[in-house]
A and B are shown apart, each in its own frame.
Chain A
Amino acid sequence: MKNKSLVSINDYSTEEIMQILELAKYFEENTEQNLLAGKVIATLFYEPSTRTRLSFESAVQRLGGSIIGFSDSNSSSVTKGESLKDTIMTVANYSDLIVMRHPLDGSARYASEVSNVPIINAGDGANQHPTQTLLDLYSIKKTQGTLKNLNIFLVGDLKYGRTVHSLLLALMDFNPIFNFISHEKLKMPDEYKLLLDARKIKYYEHKEFTDIISEADIIYMTRTQRERFSDQLEYEKTKDTYVLRNAMLINTKPNMKILHPLPRVNEINIDVDDNNKAYYFTQALNGVYVRQAIITKILGLK
């Protein structure tokens, strides 16, 4: 993994993913160290982000590294019409590693080809967000003790949500059962279902929450964006169908945890927050350890 960019979750083998998760566990127990002393990490955020950027910066600073970059492309030469290539080639001169979020699909792959320092993709448009997938896997492994043989519920926008697609691909090697809960218009795309069929992985599709959630080990919630519906009336009619409430959790398994990549809007009622099955804020904290693991692995420090 040394000096190798992380653009897509497919860039890592299952073995490499497990190594990152092991190392993240080590950083959870030893968060503050001086491993990155003298290293400069650039964070180029062309799009707004709270968790991803701040958890990357927290990960670096807790390891003694320093940060340069921008959190808004309006404060960079992008506003003067500078190309991505020129920005990357310049920033690569000033840093040991670049973390980038960009609104265009494929921008991270391209950046990794023009940069002479490794790139970590922190989200390229609707395409990939591999560090989110790794922290989701870490959260699942930590709460369930394993990634194997789990019953995973994916809820909400299964059509456009890149996090659910990457998570689904990453879990395929661990003999999961999937349950998909979504509106007809936001169903899991056929290309993913075909992959599951080919691997003989069981999956079930549901139009709404039912008693079946009592079988879940993980309920992974996602946000449904209003703009996905051309008919706003339909959005208003259906938006409450996919809201998880505390009262619905009574018969769920004791080990079950609720995950969400955040930000949430209304899809998890705030009365769930105090339930010990709510895990989404700890999941966001896990992002720090996982990003520490990825950065130190790529820089060859661990």
Chain B
Amino acid sequence: MNKKELKVNAIKDGTVIDHIPAKDLFKVIRILKLDKYNNQITFGTNLESKKLGYKAIIKISDKFFEDDEINKIALVASDANLNIIRDYQVIEKKTVTIPDQIIGIAKCFNPKCITNNEEIITKFTVVSKKDVSLKCHYCEKIMDKAQLIINQ
């Protein structure tokens, strides 16, 4: 175990989400609804990273995500990778990819969109996975990553 990983406790079984941009940690928490979990969860943020400058890391005990569930975080953390841990050993490594459709996570940036005025589950088609641009299924406006707001 190297020095960097010692900054947060190792877990026996579960998932480690690494290489989250530090500024986007709380968005990832909201997307995965981690505040609703009873599992033991450790967060680390502002950890030095060669690739990202500063990164965040999340360790969740006894939780193994379905691909559909975890891929949603690619919206804000496209470089994130997952280590699946069993009995303190990394048994699998995974990366995340942006799904073709984003349902119920993001808020439409258009204040005149019906989704911002009635209780409606938002739905976006991913127009570009590279630059993360999303087209609202309702108002048909396209928003880019800078305009993206993750639902509370």
Q: Which residues of A contact B (CB under 8 A)?
A: 8, 83-85, 102-107, 109-110, 124-128, 191
Instruction: Name the residue of chain A whose CB is nearest to the CB of B120.
Output: A110
Contacts of A128 in B (CB 8 A): 140
Q: Which residues of B contact A (CB under 8 A)?
A: 108, 110, 112-115, 117-120, 136-142
Bound CA span A104–B136, Å: 13
Bound CA span A106–B142, Å: 13
Contacts of A85 in B (CB 8 A): 118
Known: A105-B138, A127-B140. A110 touches B118 (CB 8 A): yes
Contacts of B136 in A (CB 8 A): 106
Known: A83-B118, A84-B114, A110-B118. A105 touches B137 (CB 8 A): no
Contacts of B115 in A (CB 8 A): 106, 110
Interface of B is mostly: loop
Q: A107-B114, A110-B120 are in contact. List 12 more A-B contacts (CB 8 A).
A: A8-B140, A84-B118, A104-B113, A104-B117, A104-B139, A105-B140, A105-B141, A106-B115, A106-B140, A107-B138, A124-B114, A124-B139
Contacts of A103 in B (CB 8 A): 112
22 contacts between A and B (CB under 8 A): A83-B118, A84-B114, A85-B118, A103-B112, A104-B117, A104-B139, A105-B112, A105-B140, A105-B141, A106-B113, A106-B114, A106-B115, A106-B138, A106-B139, A106-B140, A107-B114, A109-B137, A110-B114, A110-B138, A124-B114, A125-B112, A126-B112
Contacts of B139 in A (CB 8 A): 104-106, 124-125, 127
Looking at the assembled complex, report how far the CB atom of B36 sits from the nearest CB atom of chain A, in whole angstroms: 27
Contacts of A127 in B (CB 8 A): 139-140
Bound CA span A124–B115, Å: 13
Instruction: Name the residue of chain B whose CB is nearest to the CB of A10.
Output: B140
Looking at the assembled complex, report how far the CB atom of A101 sits from the nearest CB atom of chain B, in whole angstroms: 13
Contacts of B108 in A (CB 8 A): 106
Looking at the assembled complex, report how far the CB atom of A69 sits from the nearest CB atom of chain B, in whole angstroms: 19
